[in-house]
Amino acid sequence: MSEQIEAPNQQTLTIHQDIDLGVEHHNAGRLPEAERIYKRVLQAEPEHPVALHLLGVVAHQSGENDIATDLIGKALAIKPEFPEAHYNLGIVLREQGKLDEAVASYRQALAIKPEYADAHTKLAAVLYEQGKLDDAIASYHNVLALKPDFAEVYNNLGLALQEQEKLDDAVASYQKALAIMPICAEAHYNLGNVYKSQGKLFDAVARYEQALTISPSLVEARHNLGNVLLMQGNISAGLDQARKSRGVIEFRSEIKIGYEILH
C-alpha cells in the first residue's frame, strides 16, 4: 500500500526535477540539453503542459516557429489558464507576422494575469506596429503603472506621442527615460529629433552629440547631426558628419558582405 502511494509521488518529483534542470540549461543557452530533458519529461508524461510549452519556446529560439506554435498550442489546450504560454505564443505569432493573433494572445495572458508587465510591454509594441497609437499609449501607461522606472518604455511612449505630434509630451517622456537611464543613446537621439522638429537646433545638436558619445556607431544620429549643423550654417562640420555617417554605412555593408561570403 505504501509503495503504491510513493511511486507516483517519486515520479512527480523526478519530473519536477527534470523541468528545473531543463530550465537551468535553457536559461544558460544550452538549448539542445534543455530540449533533450523536456522530451524526456514528455516521454514519461505526454501531456505535461509546462514541458510542451518550454519545448515550444526552444523551437522558437531555434527558428522553428510552426513547431513552436503547435507545441505551445497543445500546452494551452491542456492548461488554458497559462499566462506565460499565451505570452510566448504571442511572441511567435508576432514573428510570423500574425499581429492580430499576437494581440489576442497577449490580451489573453493579461486577462489571466493583469499585473504581467512584460505582456503589457509586448502588447504595446504590436499595437504601435499596427499604428494603433492610442491603444499602444494606454498599454505603455499600464506598464509604467507596474514598473515606474522602465526607461525603455518611456522612450517607446515618447515615439508614440511624437507620431501623434504631441511634441511636448514626447519631450517629457524622453526626459523621464534619461532621468532613469542617462546612457540611453536612443532616447537622446529621439529627443534630438523632437527638438529639431520644434526648431530648437542647439538643443538638437546637444542631444545628437550625447547619443554619439554613448553610441558612436548610431549612424542616424550622426546623419541628423550633420543636417542640423548645415541648417545652422556650419557647413564644414555638417559635411564632416555626413562623410562620417556614410563611412559607417559602408563599413556595415562590408561586414554584411563578409558575413554572407563566410556563410
Q: Provide the pLDDT confidence category of residue 36 given band limits of 50, 70 and 90.
A: very high
31-68 core/surface letters (b: 16 or more CB in 10 A; e: else): eeebbebbeebbeeeeebbbbbbbbbbbbbeeeebebb
The answer to the question of residue 260 being in a domain is no
As to burial, measured by CB atoms within 10 angstroms (0-12 exposed, 13-18 middle, 19+ buried), residue 203 is: middle
The answer to the question of residue 17 being in a domain is yes
All three cell numbers of 258, joined, read: 563578409
Residue 69 phi, psi (nearest 5): -60, -45
The answer to the question of residue 203 being in a domain is no
The answer to the question of residue 167 being in a domain is no
Q: Strand, helix or coil at 42?
A: helix
What are the tens digits of pLDDT across the range 122-174?
999 999 999 999 999 999 999 999 999 999 999 999 999 999 999 999 999 99
Confidence at residue 239, expressed as pLDDT on a 0 to 100 scale: 82
Q: How high is the mean pLDDT of the chain? A: 89
Confidence at residue 161, expressed as pLDDT on a 0 to 100 scale: 98
Provide the CATH number for the domain around residue 43.
1.25.40.10
Confidence at residue 237, expressed as pLDDT on a 0 to 100 scale: 77
* Residue 125 near residue 101 (C-beta atoms within 8 A): no
What are the tens digits of pLDDT across the range 180-234?
999 999 999 999 999 999 999 999 999 999 999 999 999 999 999 999 998 888 8
Confidence at residue 173, expressed as pLDDT on a 0 to 100 scale: 98
In angstroms, rounded to a whole number, what is the distance separating the alpha carbons of residues 243 and 226? 9
Q: Quick check: 114 pLDDT over 60? A: yes
Q: How many domains does the chain have?
A: 1
**Any long-range contacts for 256-259 (C-beta under 8 Å, 24+ apart)?**
none
The answer to the question of residue 15 being in a domain is yes
Range of the domain at 9: 1-147
Question: Of residues 84 and 223, which shows the higher confidence score?
Answer: 84
